[in-house]
Amino acid sequence: NVTKHNNPLWSLGKLGRGENELSMPVSIIVDDCNGQEQVYILDPGNSRIKCLNIDGKFIEHLAKKIMFFISF
């Protein structure tokens, strides 16, 4: 998300394996599930799919072990 003047509303993490860190993120989608938008980030470097709320707050890791070729 960006503001009217293209300023980011939030950014996420740094390189690493922690809750708010990524390693090789390759895909991102936003899904509207029951009126609640969630952000999913495919992060094969950490073998997981990160789920965030629309404000960028961590919800959960959906997969601990994923195949490298999975994408959406």
Q: Say if residues 33 and 25 touch (Cβ distance below 8 Å).
A: no
Domain span holding position 10: 1-72
Q: Which residues contact 40 (CB under 8 A, 6 or more apart)?
A: 28, 29, 30, 31, 49, 50, 51, 52, 62, 72
Tens-place pLDDT, residues 4-15: 677 777 777 789
Q: Structurally, how many domains does the chain consist of?
A: 1
Tens-place pLDDT, residues 25-68: 999 999 987 788 999 999 988 888 999 998 889 999 887 655 55
Query: Structure pTM?
Result: 0.73
Q: Say if residues 56 and 11 touch (Cβ distance below 8 Å).
A: yes
Q: Is the dihedral of CA 40, 45, 46, 48 positive or negative?
A: positive
